[in-house]
Structure 1
Amino acid sequence: EMCPAGVLSNMLVLLGNGISSPSPHSSTLVAEVLYVLSVLTNYSEAFTEEVLKQDICMLLRQMLLSMDLVRAGPSMSQTSSSVLRVLSTLASMLPAVQLAESVCECEARRAALFREHPAYLDAIGEAFAQLLLDIHETSVDPCVQSLCVSLLLAFFLASRERPELVRRSLEPAQLACFLANLLLSGASKSQTLACLLITCELLERHPTPYSLLFV
């Protein structure tokens, strides 16, 4: 009831047009559409479900792939802002990460949505798990890097009861190497904390093979 289906369809068309026919005007429209989507998905499980039904994951993935982080040159700042908008939209769909004393878990209502509809989490893993690692390694923006690691943490927590999805989404040796290098690099406190939480989650929930890979 928050957003009629026809309006949502038009919003997704605008995002698609931003990929196929990029221009300063379409970039402004895309930024506004992503903001509205982020607000609504963050607020409503029902709207999030409707957005995920529309294959938003592949659309957001295409948007990220269309941004050349390696050769952005003088437009690096603008590119980073665009990447952050897309990643923030993804963050609004995933369950929020909640820390309480020594417990790290997902926000219950959004986590329940993904338990009831596991295909949505499959789509997120397929579209973004590897891409988040790639973006982290190519971006020089610490905000982008931090958000990538935070999104990985949210994804792993949401997949807590689905070990097969974790194995399918990222090759264990590659993921372990990524996390180890991140811990050794002296990254920001937020990245280091998220990295440690991911590592603990993997060791606790997936001792095979991660207990050997982190030795």
Structure 2
Amino acid sequence: MGAQAVRAFMSIGEVLALLQGEFPDVTISKIRFLEGEGLIEPQRSPSGYRKFTHNDVERLRYILTAQRDHYLPLRVIKDHLEEQATRPRDVSSEVPAVRLSREELLEAAGIDDETLAEMESFGLVVPVARRYDADALDVARNVAELARFGLHPRHLRAVKAVVEREAGLVEQAVAPLLRRRAPGAIDQAGETGREISGLLQKLHSALLRGSVRGVLGR
């Protein structure tokens, strides 16, 4: 029983060993920093050593995943964790769908309100119920990066138009599946849509590379 009680807790080194396979950049200093920012609260032994539970590890995994996959600021991640704390279950390693307020999106994308308003005016970013999802965050970040090269939202309307036409092709392909009443038809339509989207992205990239080579005379 004593051995089981000991294994209920892990040292910071053991936690690091558990996480480094999935997050190679994580360090002991990083874990301590997250503790200092109030995102994790490991217990302490009488001698002052940190004692991490499995829930602490899952919380860390959640934080690191949100940073790596969604580039969310720590303040936003902390808000999400506090929201989850009100739910009747432990923090999961699965990061829920991103739902950012306008202020959170501005901070996460590193843009100002005027830039976001311009993106919205050209339909590049569209809030749903006054919230922004992960795709909106990706779009905002990429549009902001393109601005460094003199390409602003008004220049990107053509890109938006191309995407809408490609979405029309996906819709055309999956429409027969969506009309079927057979079990699993909706799942099959989703899988087909994702596969076609991936192929269209590859085609788009290949055509763009060829066109750019032509522009550069290569």
Provide TM-score, normalisation by structure 2. Answer: 0.22
| Structure with larger Rg | 2
Provide TM-score, normalisation by structure 1. Answer: 0.22
Which one scores higher on RCO, CA 8 angstroms, separation ≥ 6?
A: 1
